[in-house]
C-alpha cells in the first residue's frame, strides 16, 4: 500500500492568494497537473468556504487541505487512510467493509475529512464549492460524536449555508438523505432553533438525546458500528 505522501507534494508558497488561504492551515497540492489559474481559483474557493464556516459557527478551522486530481489520486488517499484505523473515515462515501453495495462504493469520493490527521482531502477536478464547504464543516464538528451524527450535521449545515446558491451544492444519493439528513432535519424541527443545533455541532451546547422520543433521532447517537448494522438489517 502506498504511503500517503508518496505523490510528490508541491507547496504553493509563491502565490499570494494561496498564502492568504494558508494562514490557518496549509494547502498542499498532491498533483502537479494544475495550472496557476486553477491554483488561484481553488485557493479562493477554499478561503471563501473557510470564512463562511468561521463566520457561521464562530469556530476557526485549522485543518490542512490536500488537493488531488482524478480518481486514482483520491483512491490512494482513501486507501492509505484506511490502513490501521478502526472507525470509518468521513467521506461522502462510506468506507465500512461490513456493508455492501451502494454503501461501499468509494470510487466517487470528492472530499474526505481525516479527523485523526486533521486533514481535508479534495478532488478538485470534480469538486464544487459545496464540497469544500461540506468538508470544512466536518472540521469544526465535535470529533467525539458518532460518525453518522457528524455526517448528518455536516450535510444539514451544508444545505443550509447553500440555500440561496443551490448550484454550488454537492449532489448526494438518496441514502445520504435517508441515513443522515432526514434524522437531523427532524431533530432541527424538534429543537425549533438552528442556532442551538449549530452550537451543539461545535460543542457549545449539549443535548439530552434520551429525552427525544424518536427512534430515528436516537439512532444517530448510537456507536457507528451499531448504527450501520441496524440500518442494514432494516434494509434486508
Site for Zn ion (CB under 5 A): how many residues?
Answer: 2
Task: State the nearest-atom distance from the C-beta of 78 to Zn ion, in Å.
Answer: 13
The nearer residue to Zn ion, 25 or 91, going by C-beta atoms, is 91
User: What is d(CA 169, CA 219) in angstroms, rounded to the nearest whole number?
Assistant: 26
Distance of closest approach, residue 96 Cβ to Zn ion, in angstroms: 14
Beta carbons within 10 angstroms of residue 59's beta carbon: 16
Which residue lies nearer to Zn ion by CB, 151 or 219?
A: 151
Taking the least distance from each CB to Zn ion, the nearer of 17 and 222 is 222
Element (H, E) at 11: strand 10-11
Nearest residue to the partner Zn ion, using Cβ = 154
Q: Give the list of residues 6+ apart from residue 65 with CB closer than 8 angstroms, or none.
A: 25, 26, 27, 28, 46, 119, 120, 121, 122
Q: Residue 1: name the closest of 85, 118, 61 by CA.
A: 85
Residue 157 or 200 with smaller CB distance to Zn ion: 157
Cβ closest to Zn ion, residue 114 vs residue 151: 151
Q: How far is the CB of 5 from Zn ion (least distance, A)?
A: 24
Q: For residue 209, what are the CA distances in angstroms to 14, 55, 113, 140?
A: 49, 27, 26, 21
Q: Least Å distance between CB 14 and Zn ion? A: 32
Contact set for Zn ion, span 134-193 (CB under 5 A): 151, 154
Backbone angles phi, psi at 60, to 5 degrees: -80, 140
Q: What's the min distance (Å) between Cβ of 111 and Zn ion?
A: 7
Element (H, E) at 114: strand 111-114
Residues near Zn ion, by CB under 5 A: 151, 154
Amino acid at each position: 500500500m502506498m504511503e500517503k505522501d508518496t505523490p510528490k507534494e508541491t507547496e504553493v508558497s509563491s502565490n499570494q492568494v494561496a498564502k492568504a488561504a494558508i494562514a490557518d492551515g496549509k494547502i498542499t497540492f498532491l498533483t502537479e497537473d494544475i495550472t496557476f489559474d486553477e491554483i488561484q481559483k481553488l485557493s479562493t474557493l477554499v478561503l471563501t468556504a473557510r470564512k463562511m464556516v468561521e463566520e457561521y459557527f464562530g469556530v476557526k478551522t485549522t485543518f490542512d487541505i490536500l488537493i488531488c486530481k482524478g480518481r486514482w489520486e483520491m483512491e490512494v488517499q482513501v486507501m492509505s487512510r484506511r490502513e490501521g484505523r478502526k472507525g470509518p473515515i468521513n467521506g461522502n462515501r462510506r468506507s465500512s467493509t461490513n456493508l455492501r453495495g451502494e454503501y461501499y462504493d468509494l470510487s466517487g469520493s470528492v472530499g474526505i475529512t481525516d479527523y485523526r490527521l486533521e486533514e481535508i482531502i479534495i478532488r478538485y477536478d470534480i469538486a464544487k464549492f459545496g464540497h469544500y464547504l461540506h468538508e470544512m464543516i466536518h472540521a469544526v464538528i465535535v470529533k467525539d460524536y458518532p460518525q453518522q451524527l457528524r455526517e448528518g450535521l455536516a450535510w444539514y449545515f451544508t444545505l443550509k449555508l447553500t440555500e440561496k446558491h443551490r448550484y454550488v451544492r454537492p449532489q448526494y444519493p438518496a441514502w445520504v438523505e435517508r441515513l443522515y439528513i432526514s434524522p437531523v432535519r427532524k431533530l432541527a424541527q424538534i429543537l425549533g432553533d438552528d442556532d442551538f443545533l449549530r452550537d451543539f455541532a461545535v460543542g457549545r451546547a449539549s443535548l439530552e438525546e434520551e429525552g427525544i422520543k424518536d427512534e430515528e433521532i436516537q439512532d444517530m447517537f448510537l456507536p457507528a458500528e451499531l448504527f450501520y448494522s441496524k440500518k442494514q438489517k432494516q434494509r434486508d
